[in-house]
Structure 1
């Protein structure tokens, strides 16, 4: 093998999906945890429009949402890379395919969410502007779907042992459901706002699941397949 061919082979191997899925999942988890920790809180007083305005003009709006955007982007890229690594089994492959689409859409949604603060002046008087409605439906639908997607991925990954295990899946399940419910209702009621801190479990799950991600096992004709979701209960 020539030197140039050997170099190209090494570079190709370095770019394999499984090489980037884990690190990106960790970065996404850390960024999500940090972004949630510094996210501004509203006063809990007045209308929902006023509460949103209070958060938008807070100095921590941009730092927190920049971190959350980075988290969403890392999660989306990691899930896409994880899907491409192969050997997942049909059930897990389907889950990652669907969740990867949701993750990409959520990244776009978080970009809009980040720059929504530019229109804070328009809702200063309590008016429900077009921007407010976009913000509302972005959180209610897109963020909620992302939370449900992460919860589903955690369960599927844990049961098949391709991303965590049956014990660690609880972190992603609880965190994802908490984020989904809090996001779906935040524009209408304060009742479930307390669930947002619980959503930080998503970040913890991402790090733990990455650490427990099994390496691909080479075999003739490709990577070894992980147990499918329907057969997870009989796997070792």
Structure 2
């Protein structure tokens, strides 16, 4: 039995679960107090542990897919860039997770190197992963077009998120990260489609989502 479809489905579940647990900033607080309360929230560690896990699973699952499935050359290039993007997300998510332990430093107005490192790495990791997944979805034609649209919309939103809330300071656009999780539906659909094909279609039954 192929392992990579299960990995993509598990990655999708981990990403959505982690996103649902992600703490929101307290609008009643400002400045250092708001940042300290945000990264010090008890949900920070479970949320970012799941998001980190999703990046690891996507890197593994995409690698398995690319080795197993024949794809057009352009789709394969996009796929390998997506693998690299997932690895970058793993690297970015480590300081993102560890930033939880800088809450006291943030409250005192001291430096937060892990949080700062995450914020810088996200400017590269999110666009590389999001845009390459969108390209793979379009070029690879791996699922129903409806899921492909979700991957494109989600991938673009995911790519823009860190730039919108970071350098541009548009905190209200943090909704882009929620929209970005539409990618999870595409990953799940690709995984389920891979499992369906592995079992073998019945007569007259479509071979994937």
For normalisation by structure 2, the TM-score amounts to 0.83
After superposition, the Cα gap between the structure-2 partners of 1:42 and 1:85, relative to the gap in structure 1 and judged at 3 Å, is same
Number of aligned residues: 194
Out of 166, 173, 190, the position equivalent to 2:152 is 173
What does 1:151-190 correspond to in 2, within 5 Å? 151-157=134-140, 161=141, 163-187=142-166, 188-190=169-171
Does the C-alpha gap of structure 1 residues 50 and 147 become closer, same or farther in structure 2, counting only changes over 3 Å? farther
Counterpart selection for 1:197 from 170, 173, 178: 178
Structure 1: tracts of 5 or more residues without a match? 1-13, 217-236
Matches within 5 A, 1:34-45: 34-44=17-27, 45=29
CA distance in 2, matches of 1:123, 1:95: 39
Residue pair 1:141, 1:184 contacting (<8 A) in 2 also = no
Equivalent residue, structure 2, for 1:30:
13
SS state at 1:192 partner: helix
Coordinate RMSD, CA, aligned: 2.1
CA deviations on 1:3-24 (whole Å, 9 max, x unpaired) are xxxxxxxxxxx5xxxx122110
Based on CA coordinates, which of the two structures has the bigger radius of gyration?
1
Matches within 5 A, 1:1-236: 14=1, 19-44=2-27, 45-47=29-31, 50-157=33-140, 161=141, 163-187=142-166, 188-213=169-194, 215=197
Does the Cα contact within 8 Å between 2:134 and 2:155 map onto a contact in 1? Answer: yes
Gapped runs of 5+ residues in structure 2?
A: 199-209
Write 1 or 2 for the structure with the bigger share of helix.
2
| C-alpha distance after superposition, 1:23-68 (max 9, x if no partner) | 1000000110110011001124524x55432221101000101110
> What are the superposed Cα offsets for residues 132-167 of structure 1, whole Å, 9 maximum, x if unpaired?
43122022222332222322222223xxx3x21333
Q: Distance in 2 between matches of 1:155 and 1:50?
A: 43
Q: CA deviation at 1:206?
A: 1.3
**Conserved? CA contact 1:140–1:185, under 8 Å:** no
On the 8 A contact 1:95/1:152 being kept in 2, the answer is yes
Could you tell me how far 1:119 is from its partner in structure 2? Answer: 1.9
Spell out structure 1 runs of 4+ moving beyond 4 A.
Answer: none
